């Protein structure tokens, strides 16, 4: 299957309403990150986020239950790019090689500065950390499904669950490490991200040497 192939079934495509809703949620997420970065999470109010986007506070709370949860779409978008990439995982290629090569040759979306700012903030902001961890937890079923399909096992198999959780943790650790590197080296790009990912996945593949 070609990487650029898309379904020709109109029913498989999001409706215009859904696309507009998704775009608005991303706008809100970016505005929230910008304000959190400039003012700090505690000093940022929901009213300020809604004003930055040009919507009412009531509309903001219809989309998100808290100001911290406003960032969720940005985190989910990054993880979805990785899980979507797994749909194109060739049967004759190892996972480590496939993901790191995807980074190195630009098959994944470009590094988003707002996402990196957000990931760095999750180190010191517990509420944002919770959103970050929840986004990864929500990605687990997709990873389990990909590994199960690959191995012929059930997604509910304990070994599959452990392997999916291990990969998930490696992806999170690699993203956090890369975000920190970018704080001191703004020119870090896909090759550096691929290095972080390769190191994390290799450590995961080694198992527990203790």
Question: Can you give the pLDDT at residue 9?
Answer: 53
Helix (H, G, I), strand (E, B) or coil at 67: coil
Task: Please give the CATH architecture assigned to the domain spanning 71-206.
Answer: Orthogonal Bundle (1.10)
Q: Tell whether the model's pLDDT for residue 11 goes beyond 80.
A: no
Q: How far is residue 155 from each of residues 18, 66, 143, measured CA to CA in Å?
A: 29, 32, 9
Q: Tell whether the model's pLDDT for residue 19 goes beyond 80.
A: yes
Q: Contact, 151 vs 162, CB < 8 A?
A: no
d(CA 115, CA 71): 9
* pLDDT tens sequence across 33-90: 999 999 999 999 999 999 999 999 999 999 999 999 999 999 888 888 888 888 888 8
Q: Tell whether the model's pLDDT for residue 7 goes beyond 60.
A: no
Q: Which distant-in-sequence residues (6+ apart) come within 8 Å of 53 by Cβ?
A: 24, 27, 28, 31, 60
Strands (E), the chain: none
| CATH fold label, 15-70 | Arc Repressor Mutant, subunit A (1.10.10)
| Bigger pLDDT: 192 vs 118 | 118
Question: Can you give the pLDDT at residue 54?
Answer: 96
Question: Can you give the pLDDT at residue 103?
Answer: 73
* pLDDT tens sequence across 154-186: 999 999 999 999 999 999 999 999 999 999 888
Residue 3 confidence class, pLDDT cut points 50, 70, 90:
very low
Residue 41 tokens read as: 């999470």
Question: Can you give the pLDDT at residue 138?
Answer: 92
d(CA 195, CA 22): 31
Residue 31, burial from CB neighbour count under 10 angstroms (0-12, 13-18, 19+) = buried
Q: Tell whether the model's pLDDT for residue 6 goes beyond 60.
A: no
d(CA 88, CA 72): 25
Q: Which distant-in-sequence residues (6+ apart) come within 8 Å of 47 by Cβ?
A: 57
Question: How is the chain split into domains, by residue range?
Answer: 15-70, 71-206
Q: Contact, 114 vs 75, CB < 8 A?
A: no
Question: Can you give the pLDDT at residue 106?
Answer: 66
Question: Can you give the pLDDT at residue 68?
Answer: 96
Query: pLDDT exceeding 70 applies to what percent of the chain?
Result: 92
* 78, containing H or E segment: helix 72-85
Q: Which distant-in-sequence residues (6+ apart) come within 8 Å of 112 by Cβ?
A: 74, 78
């Amino acid at each position: 299957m070609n990487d650029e192939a898309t379904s020709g079934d109109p029913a498989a495509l999001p409706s215009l309403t859904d696309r507009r809703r998704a775009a608005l949620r991303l706008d809100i997420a970016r505005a929230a990150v910008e304000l959190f970065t400039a003012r700090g999470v505690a000093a940022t109010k929901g009213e300020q986020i809604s004003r930055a986007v040009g919507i009412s506070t009531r509309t903001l709370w219809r989309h998100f239950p808290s100001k911290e949860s406003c960032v969720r779409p940005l985190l989910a978008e990054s993880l979805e790019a990785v899980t979507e990439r797994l749909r194109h995982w060739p049967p004759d290629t190892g996972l480590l090689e496939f993901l790191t090569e995807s980074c190195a040759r630009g098959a994944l979306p470009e590094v988003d500065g707002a996402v990196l700012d957000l990931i760095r903030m999750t180190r010191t902001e517990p509420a944002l950390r919770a959103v970050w961890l929840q986004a990864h937890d929500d990605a687990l079923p997709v990873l389990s499904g990909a590994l199960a399909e690959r191995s012929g096992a059930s997604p509910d198999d304990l070994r599959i669950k452990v392997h999916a959780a291990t990969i998930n943790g490696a992806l999170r650790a690699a993203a956090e490490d890369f975000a920190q590197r970018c704080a001191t080296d703004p020119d870090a790009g896909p090759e550096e991200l691929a290095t972080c990912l390769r190191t994390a996945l290799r450590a995961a593949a080694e198992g527990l040497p203790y």
